[in-house]
Chains A and B, each alone.
Chain A
C-alpha cells in the first residue's frame, strides 16, 4: 500500500476543540480534501466535505444556524449529524429527496483536538493513543512545507522523535522529563499544520506566558523549515 493510501485510513487532528465555536464554520484541509467543521448548539461537531451537494460551493462560507448549515449560494439547508438536506428555498413546499446529503467524514474529539478520518469505514477506536497524563493544547501553526520535510527537520534539527510506531505524523521531544508532543496535519502536498500538546501547567497564572513561549519556539522552527522548503 502506498503512503497516500495508508494515510487515508489514519486519523488526523484538524483543529483544537475549543476553536470550533458556536455559530461558526471552520475551513480546513486534509490530504488535499477540504472539510467544513461546525458545532451545533447542542455541542455536536460535524466534519463534512467542503462542498455543497447542489452546485459544489464551499460550505465553509455558509451559515451555521445552530441546528443546520445553510449554503451561502442558493440557501439549501443541511441538518446537523445526518447532513440531510431539509429545505430548498426555491421549492419551499416540497420535502427534499433523501439522497441529497452532504458527504460526512469520520470525526472524533480526543486530547483537546478534533480528529477526522477520510476513509470509508472510520473506526474511532483507531485514534492514536498518546502517553500523556494531562496536557494543554497550544496554538496550531500553519507551515508552508510538505509533511515529510516538516517531520524530517523536526527530527534532525529540533530534537523530536516519532512518538508512535505509526509513522512520522506524531512526534515527541527527546530526552528525559515530561514530553511535548507535536501532531502533524498534512493539508496537501505543500502545506502542513503543526498542532501541539504540552504537559499541563501547574499554575494557571503561567498559562499565557507558557503558550506564548511554546508558540514562539514552534514558529521559529516553522520559519527555518519554510526557508529550507523554499
Chain B
C-alpha cells in the first residue's frame, strides 16, 4: 500500500488524500509531528526528504516528494480514465503545469499567511496577504470567463484535473491567514463544484457542500 507521510492540518498533504480518495487508491497515513514537534526536520525524516518538507509518498519503495509532483505521479499511475491528467493532450498538459505552478505560489502566499497566524511563523504577513489577493484576483477573473465559456474547471475542460485539486486547499483555508475571499465570488462557485466531486473528503477547516439540486 502507498505510504503517505502526512500532517493532518497541511493543505499540501490533504490534496494527496483528496486525490487518492477520489481515485479510490488505498493508502496508509504516517503521521508526522510537524507542529510543535518539527519532526519533518528530524534526522530520520531528512533521510527520506533532504528538503525537510511534507508531503512525501512511498509507493512500494518508490519515494517521491513535492505535492504537485506527487499529484502528477498518482494520476498517471492510478487513474485509468486518464481524465485527471490527460497525457496525450499537449495544451491540457501545458495548462495543468501552469496551474500547478500557481498552486505553489498560493502555498508561498496564502498558506504562508496561515502559518504566520496559526503556527506563529515569522513571515512578512502583509506581503503574504497582498500576494494571495493578487493571485485570487487572477483566479477569479479566469474562472468567471471559464464559466461564460461553459467550463467549470481551471483548465477549460469538462472534467476536473489535478490542477483543480492542487489549487483548492490553500484557497479554501485562506481565511485562517486573514485573506478574505469575499471579493472572489467565481472562486466560491468553483470551490463548491470541487466539493461536489464524488469521493470528496474534508479536512479541519474545510467543510463539505450541500448536495447539488437534482436536475
Contacts and interface: CB of A to CB of B under 8 A. Distances in A.
Interface of A: 15, 19, 21-24, 26-29, 34, 41, 61, 63-66, 70, 72, 139-140, 142, 191, 193, 207-208, 211-212, 215, 219
Nearest to B148: A208
Interface stretch (B60-68, B84-92, B111-119, B207-215): B207-215
A216 to B, nearest CB: 10
B192 interface: yes
Contacts of B149: 208
Contacts of B209: 23, 63
Interface of B: 137, 141, 144-145, 148-149, 181-186, 188-189, 192, 207, 209-213
Given A23-B212, A72-B207, A29 B185 contact: no
Contact of B189 (A19, A139, A142, A215): A19
Contact of A215 (B137, B141, B207, B213): B141
Nearest to B196: A23
Contacts, number: 53
A66 B207 contact: no
A27 B192 CA distance: 13
22 contacts: A19-B186, A22-B212, A22-B213, A23-B192, A23-B209, A23-B210, A24-B189, A24-B192, A26-B185, A26-B188, A29-B182, A34-B182, A41-B213, A64-B210, A139-B141, A139-B145, A142-B183, A191-B183, A193-B183, A207-B148, A211-B148, A219-B141
A70 B141 CA distance: 29
Contacts of B144: 139
Majority SS at the chain A contact face: mixed
A104 B137 CA distance: 30
Nearest to B137: A142
A212 B146 CA distance: 12
Nearest to A63: B210
Nearest to A212: B145
Nearest to A72: B207
Contact of A24 (B181, B182, B188): B188
A208 B189 contact: no
A19 B140 CA distance: 13
Contacts of A140: 185
A21 B185 CA distance: 11
B145 to A, nearest CB: 7
